[in-house]
Structure 1
Amino acid sequence: MNIAPLTANELLAALALPSSALVQQRIPKKMLAENGAATSADRKLVQDGIDELAWHAALKPSNVGIPAYEDELRSYLEVTVLVARLRTEVVATDQHRSPQAPAAVSTNVRRVAELIHRAVPYPTVLLLEHGHQLVASVVHVRWAQREAGKTVLDGDSISVPIKPGPECRAFLEAMALGRQPRFHLKALYQGWFDTLSAWQAVEQTGQFRTSESPARAAERRAALRACTELDVRIATARNAAAKEKQIARQVAVNLEIKALLAERQRVAQDL
């Protein structure tokens, strides 16, 4: 039986944002190209790849009752929620995905997400719809060191497919605004970041479990990064083994693969 794909509107509804935070305005692609795309290739990707970019909501202390956050590196005065509807021609198949890797997000979709995050001076919950795939993307921002008033991406990003399945209901419930930390807007955004990390682990664990603490969430993110790196090394070693002609070298490479698989299994226990 075919299961209908999850839509951006369904995930937006799950966030349960107050009506006072809704903006619901279109963002001109020209503005995005000018602020986030530095090269001609990126500008072309914005123009040809994005069908529509919408500003869904702006979460501020005045409409969600959560204080702003500021320090010497960051200023979280609001959290934005954007929706990008992409043209199908932007999708590229990842030819090097390992069977153990999480569901692939194409290189072009990841690049579009990065360009949008770079163009917006606030931490952004970004939903990207293309074809039958929905991708959620988050990344922290901080002040640029050499350009006053400019922000840059801070740390790793998450761009993960949101697919229907047995664990999806629990995930959607966990994404609700009322389930996130309320200490300040940075903590709120980190809550969504950690929830998406937990969802990212579902494909490998089969279970959706939110993190019990910030420390546990950090352990999971580290394990996800390590698994991704090990997947690349395993795929590279398997390609080398398939091409190797010398028996002795084949044995050595296969032993390396066995060791990498064992290491990956160990790391995956932290997911």
Structure 2
Amino acid sequence: MKSQALIAAFDLPESSLVNQRVPRKLLLENGAPTSADKRSINEGIEELIWIAALKPVTVGVPEFRDESHEYLEIAVLLLTLRDGAKTTRLVELVHRAIPYPVLLLTQQGAPLSLSVAHKRWSQSEAGKTVLEGDIVSVAWSREVDADIMADFRNSLALGSQPRTNLHALYQGWLDSMVALNAARVTGNFTLAENAEYAAARRDALRECGVLQEEIGRLRTLAAKERQIPRQVELNLELKRIDAELATTKQKL
């Protein structure tokens, strides 16, 4: 999918569109804690475009404030990376550098991804925001069933999201992305019915990733092992973790 097609899927109102280039200086001053990060920004980023600013006045969704959060705006950005760029790190740096929660589209050649990350006030530095929890991301892949991708794309429209406040709106997009990641395991795209199920699904996906990594590690060890008793031990451990993975997948 091209970035413009993904942007269109959000069905954002004209009043929210910005379409302005973000200078690298902003990232260098606010999102680059090390000299290596500065080099990655200068060498890896082709351009960063501010696509839209989602505010109460532009999308009709109220702001959100509590003791830990202040969601006055959601920034929709398009990050274009050069070949060889450190994608994961640069995505993180952009999320950290922008003071608002970011809906970040990232393209590097043909591949296209989407990422979000909640933000809260820093407990150690007044007036600064930090990431809250993990960055959640999805990538377009031809390996994923076309119907699943179509369902996901249809779920992104602004009018389909919660409109209680900007935090709920942002969470709605995050939940759609988690639903896609779950569908890659289950083969079925379904949105969580409530916040509790959405949180449980995120935990289950995280656990699936941990278990799959452990299965890969054990299979590598088993393939190299020459002692039969140790091979038996590793295979039994593999069966146990496979069973645990199957149980965890049922929570998706």
User: Normalized against structure 1, the TM-score is what?
Assistant: 0.89
Provide the residue aligned with 1:14 in structure 2: 9
Question: By how many angstroms is 1:138 displaced?
Answer: 0.4
Q: Which amino acid aligns with 2:47?
A: E
Q: What amino acid maps onto 1:23 in structure 2? A: V
Give the aligned CA root-mean-square deviation in angstroms.
1.0
Equivalent of 1:79 in 61, 71, 74: 74
* From 173, 179, 182, the counterpart of 1:198: 179
Match of 1:243 in 2: 224
| 2:31 maps to 1:31 | no
Who is 1:256 aligned against?
A: 237
Partner of residue 166, structure 1: 147
Cα deviation, 1:65-99, whole Å, max 9, x if unaligned, reads 11100011010001110000111212xxxxxxxxx
Unaligned runs of 5+ in 1: 1-5, 91-107
1:228 aligns with 2:209: yes
Task: Work out whether 1:63 is the aligned partner of 2:58.
Answer: yes
Q: How far apart are 1:127 and its partner, in Å?
A: 0.4
Q: Distance in 2 between matches of 1:146 and 1:211?
A: 34
Output the CA distance in 2 between the equivalents of 1:224 and 1:109.
22
Residue 30 of structure 1: how far off its partner (Å): 2.3
Q: 1:41 aligns with which of 26, 32, 36?
A: 36
3-state SS in 1 of match to 2:84: helix
Residue 145 of structure 1: aligned partner: 123
1:125 counterpart residue number: 103
- Structure 1 residue runs of 4 or more that deviate by more than 6 Å after TM superposition: none
Moved more, 154-163 or 184-193: 154-163
Counterpart of 1:18, as a letter, is: P
Within the alignment, does 1:208 sit opposite 2:189 as a pair? yes
1:112 aligns with 2:90: yes
The aligned counterpart of 1:101 is: none
In structure 1, what is the Cα distance between the partners aligned to 2:87 and 2:247? 31
Q: How far apart are the structure 2 equivalents of 1:89 and 1:28?
A: 21
- What's the CA shift string for 1:8-30, capped at 9, x where partnerless? 11110000001101111001112
SS at match of 1:186: helix
Query: Contact 1:110 / 1:159 at 8 angstroms: preserved in 2?
Result: no
Q: Select between 159-168 and 183-192 the one with higher mean Cα deviation.
A: 159-168
TM-score, length-scaled by structure 2: 0.96
Deviates more, 1:208-217 or 1:113-122: 208-217
Are positions 1:154 and 2:142 aligned together? no
Contact persistence 1:141–1:154 (CA under 8 A): yes
- In 2, Cα distance between the equivalents of 1:29 and 1:269? 44
How many percent identity over aligned positions?
Answer: 49
Give the aligned residue type for 1:260.
I
Q: 1:175 aligns with which of 142, 149, 156?
A: 156
The structural deviation recorded for 1:162 is: 2.3
Quote the Cα distance in structure 2 between the aligned partners of 1:202 and 1:50. 31
C-alpha deviation, 1:252, in angstroms: 0.2
